[in-house]
Each structure stands twice: as structure tokens, then as C-alpha cells.
Amino acid sequence: MRILHIDIDTLRPDHLGCYGYHRATSPAIDALAAEGVRFENCYVSDSPCLPSRAAFYSGRCGIRNGAVNHGGEAADIFLHPPDRHFRALQDHFMVQIRKAGYYTATVSPFGERHSSFWFYNGFREMVNTGFGGMESAEQLMPFALDWLDRKGKSDHWYLHVNLWDPHTPYRAPASMGNPFENDPPPAWMTEEIRRKTWDTYGPGCAQEPGGAYTDPSGYRKWPRQPEAISDLAAYRKWIDGYDCGIRYADQQVGVLVQKLREMGVYEDTLIVVSSDHGENQGELAVYGDHQTADHITNRVPLIVRHPRGLGGRGRVDTGLYYQFDWAATLVEMVGQSVPASWDARSFFEAFRNEQSAGREYLVISNCAWACQRSVRWGDHLLIRTYHSGFKNYPERMLFNIALDPHELNDLAPTRPDLVGQGMTLLDAWWAEAMRRSPRAVDPLWAVMREGGPFHARFTSPAFQEYLERLKKTGRAPLAEELLRRRRDLR
């Protein structure tokens, strides 16, 4: 069997047709979902980019692998000195796939983009496409297609192809036009909601969408991406830009599938479509970034199309899973044992019997843009904020995801019983994770000691720059509130 892992950066599931989206963003991905299994509630344990892939490849939550941030002490995987032998990190995911006899290769700039060279551990071929995550598909796909030309007809290979087109800046080629110009944007966004995201502060809000919150003017060179979400027309343009990036990535999925068909190996190739994280598009006052430990940023698509129909055709699994549970399942599927060091659990037995084997609850985290840990159980999500990342979040927020998927109605003030239930689950998870951790210190607190998450530290020059921007844009009272937040953390 051959394995193709299509890893589409920054892809939120509810903007795919197979997950119910009203726009035709994903015909190729939808076709794979119709031939395989679609996971409705798959979450990365840690977001965004670096922590997410660290968890997936190590099989461990960030609290145990150490990599929860984008810079500073907690941006690297723990190396426990007694375990640092001549070869380290031998429990990583790709090492297990390689032990099963697979020839492993990746086409991705990720390792260099985040200086995360552990990412290449276990791969036999590593193609760095060289643009640090600013790749458009036309710059990356020739390498993937060339690899398939060279190796695709051989057996037992694992190819990872990493597409970046949904990520800001929105840069789908002008030649594709706007296939969504006659389709309305998501109906949940109203002028009242947009206005609330404008009359506030924080990276990603309507006045500073995306990640460039001290000076969004740099987006002017990207025609698909407005500088601000100043009205609903700008919101529509913003969403069109994101959806065009998804559609462009989906076209490449179609190209890869067609290539496999032409080579005569499609019927023997397991195809997986996933992402490193989702993308808030107005939720929690963040547009075009991945700054929160919530249902939108940490939930990801997972579509598994097995060539012989193992798992089912067109089946939907609604269980709660960590993304790395799929890694454990694949390890078992190819005949290896899941390392004892992992937090990941294989659900292979349930998968081949076309059953669900989801978890009772999940704990998800983000420490690169805010310091948050959240619990997802039943229909609810409790978000515990330790550092707001220059935003006006309360310490605890509670949402009913089934009724309120865009997190508009915070139930925490009126449902202390559910807040208590969520905090009990979080405390139990923390105690067990720390009991099994190779370090005595929770990496979240390492981030807090540095002044906060890498992208929004109170000790950084960006904090002072943002205060000045708030004053210049008529938000001086909000600048004072942000200063109070800094004082309260001391």
C-alpha cells in the first residue's frame, strides 16, 4: 500500500463542502470524503503551526513534548538528557512508519520556516520548497509531481505534501478570478457582530485582521486581502480571499489524484487530507489568524480514504479525537506498535469495524498568540485564559458548540455548574499529564515567565507599538484597559 498525506495549512473544516459549506470550495476533497471516512470532531491538541505539528509527529500533547510556542524556551521539543542517545526522537511518528518498511518523503518548507528540524526526523527525502511558507501551489506542486514520477510506481511509500494557499496573505492567482462572486458569505456574520469586532482591540480584530496588528498596511500589495474589515463588503472580500485559497489548494488535490490515476496506483493508495489548524474568521474577534484554543482554531478536517474501503465509504465519525490519534491508528494499521511514550490512542480496531471510538473529552491549547487551555466535552467548550494575547478575553468562557459554533454567546456567567465541570476535567488532565512529563515544569508557565506568547508579549516592542496604534485609531481608552491587563498579570 502507498500513503499520500495532503496537509493543507490553515484549513477550517466548515469551509469545505463535505462539512456542509454552502460554497463549492472543495470538489476534489469532497470526492475523497465520499469514498472514505470524514471525522467531524477532530482537534489538534496544540495550536497553531509549530505546536500542532510537534504534537502530531511526537504523539504527545505540548505539555509533555515541550513545544507550545513559536519562539523562546517553549518553542522546541524537550530532549530529556538520559534519553539523548546517539540517535534521539526514535519514538516519533515518521520513524514508526519507516520501521514498517515505508519509504518516507516530504515536500514542505515547514522545518525551515519554524526552525523545527525535528520535523524531518524519519523522512528519507526532504524537499524544502524554499519560500518559508509563502509558497503558492504552483511553486510547490512541481516538486510533488516530480517525486511521484520518480518513485510513485514503487510500493510502500509515504509522501507528505504540504500546501499553504489558505494561509494569509491570500494569494490565489488572479487568473482563477473569483468563483464565489455570486455566492453570499457565511450568514452568521452580521453588521452588529462585525461592529463588535471593530469596537475592540487585539491582534486579528476587525481593525487589525491577520497577524500584522501593529501595521496592517503591508497587506495592500495583496489584492484579495483588505487592510481592515471596515464593513460587510470588506468582510465578504476577506472571506472570498480565504475561500479562493481553499479552492486553489483543492485544485491541487485534484491534480494529485489524477496523477495517481494516470500512474495506475490510485487503487492502492491511502489518501489522508488534514491541516495543522483552522482559522478564525471573526470568531472571538479574530479574522484570518489562529490565535485561540477554541473550536475554530483547533478543530481540523480529517478525511481518510482507504483504497480497499477499510473504515467505510462515505462514513462520518462524530467521535471526539485528537489529530494524533490518527497517527497512532496508522502506525497500528501498518503493523507497528504505538510507542508507550505517546498520548495518542489508536482507534484502528473500531475504524476497520466502521465504528466510532472517540474520547470522553479533549484538552486543547494555544500558547503562541494567547495562553489558553480549553476543554471540549459533550456539546460544550470551556476556554481558560491565562494570558489574553493583548485581547479583552475574560478568564473563563463557555460555549455550547452544537447551538453556537461561532462562539457568540458566552455562557460562563450563567452556568457556573458547567464551568466547574470543565475546570474539574482540566485539572484532572493537567495532573495526569504532569505525572507523565519528562520535565517538572509546565511549558505554559515558561511562556508566561517570558511575558506571554511569542506573538503578543507584554515585554516586547510590539506591545508599545500597539498601544500607540490604539491611540492613533481613536481607541485610547482601550489602550488604558490593555495597560491595566499588563499590570494585573504582575
What was the pLDDT predicted at 438?
83
Q: What is the DSSP string of 473-486?
A: TT-HHHHHHHHHHH
Domains in the chain: ranges and CATH:
2-368 (3.40.720.10)
Neighbours of 219 (CB within 10 A): 21
CA distances from 98 to 71, 105, 134, 425, 489 (A): 30, 10, 29, 36, 46
**CB under 8 Å, gap of 24 or more: what pairs does 406-409 form?**
406/188, 406/282, 406/283, 406/296, 407/283, 407/284, 407/294, 407/295, 407/296, 407/381, 408/188, 408/193
Whether 214 and 465 have beta carbons less than 8 Å apart is answered as yes
Query: Measured between alpha carbons, how far is 4 from 13 in angstroms, rounded to an integer?
Result: 19
Per-residue pLDDT of the chain (490 residues; tens, 9 = 90+): 999 999 999 999 999 999 999 999 999 999 999 999 999 999 999 999 999 999 999 999 999 999 999 999 999 999 877 878 888 899 999 999 999 999 999 999 999 999 999 999 999 999 999 999 999 999 999 999 999 999 999 999 999 999 999 999 999 999 999 999 999 999 999 999 999 999 999 999 999 999 999 998 888 899 999 999 999 999 999 999 999 999 999 999 999 999 999 999 999 999 999 999 999 999 999 999 999 999 999 999 999 999 999 999 999 999 999 999 999 999 999 999 999 999 999 999 999 999 999 999 999 999 999 999 999 999 999 999 999 999 999 999 999 999 999 999 999 999 999 999 999 999 999 999 999 998 888 999 999 999 999 999 999 999 999 999 999 999 999 999 999 999 888 6
Query: Measured between alpha carbons, how far is 3 from 260 in angstroms, rounded to an integer?
Result: 11
Count each helix (H run) and each strand (E run) in the chain, helices first. Answer: 14, 15
Strand partners, 305: 271
- The single-letter code of the amino acid at 77 is I
User: HSE-up of 488 (CA within 13 Å, CB side)?
Assistant: 13
CA distances from 428 to 40, 64, 417 (A): 25, 15, 17
Neighbours of 262 (CB within 10 A): 11
Whether 401 and 375 have beta carbons less than 8 Å apart is answered as no
Residue 150: all three cell numbers together: 520518480
> How many residues are given for the chain?
490
- The single-letter code of the amino acid at 30 is D
Query: Measured between alpha carbons, how far is 473 from 332 in angstroms, rounded to an integer?
Result: 55
User: HSE-up of 157 (CA within 13 Å, CB side)?
Assistant: 20
Q: What is the DSSP string of 364-386?
A: EEE-SSSEEEEEEETTEEEEEEE
Q: Of 435, 261, 253, nearest to 343 (Cα)?
A: 435
Query: Measured between alpha carbons, how far is 325 from 181 in angstroms, rounded to an integer?
Result: 38
Sign of dihedral through CA atoms 362, 366, 367, 368? positive
> In a 10 Å sphere around its CB, with 0-12 CB exposed, 13-18 middle and 19+ buried, how is residue 71 labelled?
middle
Whether 203 and 215 have beta carbons less than 8 Å apart is answered as no
**In 268-370, where do the E strands start and end?**
269-274, 280-281, 287-289, 299-305, 315-322, 361-366
Taking the whole predicted model, whether its pTM rises above 0.95 is answered as: yes
Interhelix angle for 191-198 vs 232-263, to 10°?
A: 100
What was the pLDDT predicted at 217?
86
What was the pLDDT predicted at 20?
98
